[in-house]
Structure formats: structure tokens, C-alpha cells
Amino acid sequence: MRVCRLGAAARFGASAAGALLFWEQVGHEAEPGRLARFQLNGFLVDGQACFAALDESNLRYTRLDPRPIEDGCGLLQVVRFEQSKVDYSTGFDLSCAMAAALYWYEAEVDRLAAVDFDLGLAEIEHFGSYACRNINCGMSGHRSQHATANALDIAAFVLGDGRRIAIIEHWEHQSEESRSLASAHDAACGMFNTVLGPDYNVLHADHIHIDTGRIRTCR
């Protein structure tokens, strides 16, 4: 039976004042630069700018009706990922800032796959985004970023030829797959505020948690 997966940060907010100044110069179809994470943090405080950026991208999404935060859980400025550059194992909803970050991250992993395997990234398998729960699924403590659809748990990357690189199978072993996963993990740290993989703890043995919450962690 699958264990409850860790969430990460407890609070939702911004950490980079003025980031939108950079964002307007970039555009969402452009390659993310060194300031990508800070630009994305700007979306946490400016939802309009976030949706405007998504509208200019090739992402197809549906904006969901807000579900007010109750007991730490809810959906504000959340989108349903409909069609992106790569496929996903199942449908999911994400905060706009996370959707923007993920859209850029897809392109990053696609570039890595081209370098490592001479193949494109075809699909991302995941364990879900929204879940009204605490960090660690604890009975007490802070709410996970999953409780506001501000997180996603990535389980595997599938390449253009169908080759599947799964965290649970390949992370530990010295191989080209494990090296590519390490690269994908490191790339995530440049995009998302919190990244927690198998080296963090046993609850992350089969996935990499990513979120745009307030806590900056790369493990």
C-alpha cells in the first residue's frame, strides 16, 4: 500500500518583490533564465499577471471556480491542466504559479532528455496535486502545499521512445537513468521553491515533490 506522501511548506506567499519586472521581458515560450524562480514567485502575489502569462503560452487550461480556503484547504487561482507540451498520467489541478512553473519545467526536462538520451520528453507520471491534508499526513501540524493545489508529486519521466525513468526504480542505482533523474531534480530546484526527493526521507522514495510555497528547500 502506498504510504502517505510528504507535503512541504506550510504557508503560501511571495518571496521576491519586484519579480514581475523581469517576467515581462521573458515570456512563457522563452527559455527560463537564472531568474526564473523569482519571476515565478511574482505570480504568487499577482494572479492576473500569472493568467496573462499562461494565456500567452501554448498551455491549454481551464480556470477553476475559487473554492474558499476552509481549515487550510481550498482552491484559489487554480487551473486544470488540459493540454501541455507533454502528456500526464492523469489530469490534475494546480495553482496558477505552479502551472506556470511546471510549464517551464517540462521544457527544461525535455532539453535534458535531448542531451542525455537524444530523445524528447513525452510524459510525466505523477501521484497528484491537490489533497486536503497536513505535511506528512500528520494529525496535527501545518497544512501541506498540496492542500491548496500548490504542489505536485512526480513519479516518473517517459521519453519519446516509451522508455520510462521512474524515481522508485532508478534513483538509487548508478546508471544513465539515475544521472538524468539527478539532473531533473537539480533543474527543479532552479524552478520551484521546494523540491524534496528520495534523499530527503523514505516517504519520498518513489517521487519528487515540487511546490512554489514559501519555504526554500532543495533536497
Site of interaction with Zn ion (CB under 5 A): 5, 151, 153, 209
Burial of 135: CB neighbours in 10 Å, binned 0-12, 13-18, 19+:
middle
Residue type, 24: E
Residue 5 or 170 with smaller CB distance to Zn ion: 5
Tell me the residue nearest to Zn ion as measured from the CB: 209
Q: What's the min distance (Å) between Cβ of 32 and Zn ion?
A: 22
Q: How far apart are CA 91 and CA 41, in angstroms?
A: 24
Q: What's the min distance (Å) between Cβ of 174 and Zn ion?
A: 26
Long-range contacts of 69-72, Cβ-Cβ distance < 8 Å, separation of 24 or more: 69/148, 71/132, 72/132, 72/142, 72/143, 72/147
Residue 143 or 209 with smaller CB distance to Zn ion: 209
Q: How far apart are CA 133 and CA 129, in angstroms?
A: 11
Q: What's the min distance (Å) between Cβ of 58 and Zn ion?
A: 26
Q: What's the min distance (Å) between Cβ of 206 and Zn ion?
A: 11
Residue 159 or 184 with smaller CB distance to Zn ion: 184
Residue 23 or 127 with smaller CB distance to Zn ion: 127
